[in-house]
């Protein structure tokens, strides 16, 4: 293979069999269980990078089923998202994500900088309860539950929340393990169609784990729970801050 061929064909690793195809990435019947809870404000400020600002000591723990996604297939993920402000505008910082499919782990980390790690999340209905779980190996690190479709929510408001800006800290090391890329990335969900949205009573339990430290943002009070069924497209990102090239 010629040098020019490498440059022209390079997209993702491995060169001759990339771990995922090029986007856009569209999701059909993407289902969310989002449980908002109050946490320790000092613990929250310790993990949110500047120039993002913490608004309130709130975390959203998400369990997400994705049965039909272009390029990534059928998988489930779970993690923590933190409401923030950037330059005075509201958004959300994606703090941690755990999922069970190699392709979106590789694509999410390499393209956008999603903080994805391999685990075993699940989201299912058990009789009158929507149940989300997150296992790392044999250890249960998160359990979220919600009464199934107790109250219908305003679809327009839920759509607006899904379309708000989201922020990621993209880190890619150089061959000497120094940072080659260290950027704050912004992305949006597009083509959002909310097929239904509901609320209900909720509970959330987090357990300590050395390599999945979700309990580092402890649950002090469960505030709300939202169940969403939607179609959407995961938009590609833009770099809004480069930590290796300070602003002049």
Q: Give CA 104 to chain center in angstroms.
A: 11
For Cα atoms 229, 230, 231, give the angle at the middle one, nearest 5 degrees.
150
Report d(CA 247, CA 87) in Å as an integer.
Answer: 15
| Per-position DSSP letters for 201-214, written without gaps between them | -EEEEE---SS--G
Query: Could you tell me the CA-to-CA distances from 33 to 121, 131, 207, 228 in Å, in that order?
Result: 12, 8, 19, 7
Is 2 catalytic? The answer is: no
Report d(CA 29, CA 230) in Å as an integer.
Answer: 5
Picking from 112, 74, 230, 219, the residue whose alpha carbon sits closest to that of residue 161 is 230
Element (H, E) at 105: helix 102-107
* Residue 126: CB atoms within 10 Å: 9
* Residue 138: CB atoms within 10 Å: 6
For Cα atoms 141, 125, 106, give the angle at the middle one, nearest 5 degrees.
50
Give the active site residue among 116, 117, 159, 170.
116
Report d(CA 64, CA 6) in Å as an integer.
Answer: 37
Catalytic machinery residues:
116
């Amino acid at each position: 293979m010629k040098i020019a061929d490498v440059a022209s064909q390079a997209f993702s690793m491995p060169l001759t069999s990339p771990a995922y195809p090029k986007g856009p990435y569209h999701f059909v019947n993407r289902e969310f269980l989002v449980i908002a809870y109050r946490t320790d404000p000092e613990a929250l400020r310790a993990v949110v990078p500047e120039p993002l600002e913490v608004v309130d000591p709130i975390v959203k723990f998400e369990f997400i089923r994705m049965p039909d996604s272009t390029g990534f297939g059928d998988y489930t993920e779970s993690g923590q998202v933190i409401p923030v402000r950037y330059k005075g505008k509201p958004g959300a910082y994606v703090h941690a994500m755990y999922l069970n499919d190699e392709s979106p782990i590789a694509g999410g980390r390499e393209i956008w900088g999603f903080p994805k790690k391999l685990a075993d999340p699940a989201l299912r209905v058990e009789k009158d309860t929507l149940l989300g779980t997150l296992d790392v190996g044999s250890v249960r690190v998160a359990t979220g539950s919600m009464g199934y479709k107790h109250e219908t929510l305003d679809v327009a408001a839920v759509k607006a929340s899904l379309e708000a800006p989201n922020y990621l800290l993209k880190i890619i090391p150089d061959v000497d393990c120094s940072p080659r890329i260290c950027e704050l990335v912004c992305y949006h969900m597009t083509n959002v169609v909310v097929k239904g949205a509901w609320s209900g009573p909720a509970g959330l339990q987090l357990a300590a784990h050395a390599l999945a430290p979700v309990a580092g943002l402890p649950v002090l009070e469960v505030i709300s729970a939202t169940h969403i069924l939607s179609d959407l497209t995961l938009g590609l990102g833009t770099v809004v801050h480069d930590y290796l090239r300070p602003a002049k």
